[in-house]
Amino acid sequence: MKKSAELVWNNCLSFIKDNIEEQAFKTWFEPIKAVKIVDNALSIQVPSSFFYEWLEEHYLKILKVSLIRELGKNAKLIYVIRKGKALHNNKTVTQQIPSSERTPVRSQEVDIPITKKDPELKNPFIIPGIRNVKIESQLNPNYNFDNFLEGDSNRLARSAGLAIANKPGGTSFNPFFVFGAVGLGKTHLAHAIGVEIKEKYPDKTVLYISAEKFIQQFTDSVRKNNRNDFIHFYQLIDVLIIDDVQFLSGKAGTQDVFFHIFNHLHQNGKQVILTSDKAPIDMQDIEQRLLSRFKWGLSAELQHPDFETRVAILKNKLFRDGVEMPEEIIEYVAKNIKTNVRELEGAIVSLIAQASFNKKEVTLELSKQIVEKFVKNTKREVSIDYIQKVVSDYFQMDVDTLQSKTRKRHIVQARQLAMFFAKKLTKASLASIGSQIGSRDHATVLHACKTVDNLSSTDKQFRKYVEDLQKKLTL
């Protein structure tokens, strides 16, 4: 009797589950679906090119063994990569076990070619009037993968970063766009990738730069009439890392020059890494042609770390500093500082300093004093769950009703208000807000925010809703 694709794949999964860690199985195998089986070729659907790359890089052997157990030595595996909401045949990547050679797809966009081969090419990192020294990669070696601890909040981004470091420019996630709220490790991860690449490939030119510095350099190049030198310099970089790319918003000239630099690097197999506090879809005043390129590779969000990850971060920090601290104090700090890794480490540093300089014993009472000052001096960011609870209570309904599909006017307005305040008071992307408030898409959230703005200016009662909720959520 011929086996179905689902049966074959389920049997493969059972074997794989017994041979790898549970978390790895959940992350990399549970999202995969069986599509079809023709002859001895099993087609499986993976969520993205990133999944395909990662499976081939790390789990090829176990996939081969499990498939041969089911289909014999002539077994073949075909990956079907989902793009958007439909499967496009021209985007399907196929792979026959045991072969794992891949040719990266290159962009065919028109680019400004390098025509000038001037050995005295002007370098924007030469500091005029100080000394003629080339600033190298500008990477901080203290920001590395050893102290960028993995958790559910950053697993995808960290895994992608490692894959890029192993094969810069040779994976399908180029550019790599990392986004998330302040203090969650975007800059740390960007540096870590660069540091790892420099260790593995010392001859590669890796450059880390903030978007603000990039803008300043471009402005200087225009003023000094050497714009082409600026472009040509950046086109020679092997791995370009631009931090806080959201600052390009509204800078039409800088966006135009970055567009040409990006095209050249991408077409020539160079790696581009970008960080932002917003997802590409939420960025304002960025040219559409640039935004579309930001989405070419992989966009990975860094989220707030869970309790276990926060504890691990604190323990790692203490270990690196050679300091011991009671478990109850570590857990107290981790429980009370939830949203920002930078603040988390700052609190533990303050505790160490108090103990060292003031000759105080690190007690739970001292920890409470430090954390209280830290939290009090930090602008609190409310969660989307909390916003939904406050809005639901205000309109005397439960959260399930708020999230429901009903079109009753008062429920729709409550839901729109929850989306409005989620966008206003959190750093979450529109897509993330929509998924958490009733599984809506980003367009629904955008419409909700516009509706709330319009009703606030035309409806007195609705304006009172907004004012009341504003007070409740920002107390």
pTM: 0.54
What pLDDT does 356 receive? 66
Tell me which of 1.20.5.50, 3.30.160.20, 3.40.50.300, 3.30.300.180 is the CATH number of domain 5-95.
3.30.300.180
Q: Is 178 helix (H, G, I), strand (E, B) or coil?
A: strand
Q: Which residues pair with 45 in a beta bridge?
A: 33, 80
Give the C-alpha separation, 341 to 330, whole Å: 14
- Closest by CA to 267, choosing from 160, 114, 54, is 114
Give the C-alpha separation, 263 to 25, whole Å: 37
Length of the chain as a residue count: 475
Which of the given ranges, 45-59, 77-91, 105-119, has the highest pLDDT on average?
45-59
> Residue 54 CA to chain centroid, in angstroms?
16
Q: Which of 20-34, 159-173, 195-209, 322-336 comes out lowest in average pLDDT? A: 322-336
What pLDDT does 121 receive? 44
Q: Is the pLDDT of residue 313 over 90?
A: no
What pLDDT does 358 receive? 60
What pLDDT does 156 receive? 86
Exposed, middle or buried, 61 (CB in 10 Å: 0-12/13-18/19+)?
A: exposed
Q: Is the pLDDT of residue 234 over 60?
A: yes
More confident residue, 30 or 370: 30
Residue partners of 8: CB distance under 8 A and separation at least 6: 34, 37, 42, 67, 70, 71
Fold of 145-302: Rossmann fold (3.40.50)
Whole-number average pLDDT of the chain: 79
What pLDDT does 82 receive? 58
What pLDDT does 242 receive? 92
Query: pLDDT class for 452, splitting at 50, 70, 90?
Result: very high
What residue has token string 């030119």? 205
Residue partners of 228: CB distance under 8 A and separation at least 6: 116
- Say which amino acid occupies 393: D
- The 10 Å Cβ neighbour count of residue 46 is 21
Give the C-alpha separation, 190 to 178, whole Å: 8
Share above pLDDT 70 across residues of the chain, in percent, rounded to a whole number: 83
Counting DSSP H helices and E strands in the chain, the numbers are 20, 9
Tell me which of 3.40.50.2300, 1.10.1750.10, 2.70.70.10, 3.40.50.620 is the CATH number of domain 384-474.
1.10.1750.10
Fold of 307-376: Helicase, Ruva Protein; domain 3 (1.10.8)
**What does the domain layout of the chain look like in residue ranges?**
5-95, 145-302, 307-376, 384-474
More confident residue, 361 or 445: 445
Q: What is the pLDDT of residues 369-390, one digit of tens each?
A: 777 766 544 445 578 888 998 9
What pLDDT does 132 receive? 39
More confident residue, 402 or 88: 402
What pLDDT does 120 receive? 41
- The 10 Å Cβ neighbour count of residue 105 is 12
Q: Is the pLDDT of residue 131 over 60?
A: no
Find the Cα–Cα–Cα–Cα dihedral 376, 379, 384, 388, rounded to 10°. Answer: 70
What pLDDT does 380 receive? 52
Which of the given ranges, 304-313, 378-387, 404-413, has the highest pLDDT on average?
404-413
Query: Please, where are the H alpha helices in 38-169?
Result: 49-58, 60-71, 155-166
Q: Which of 50-59, 120-129, 260-269 comes out lowest in average pLDDT? A: 120-129
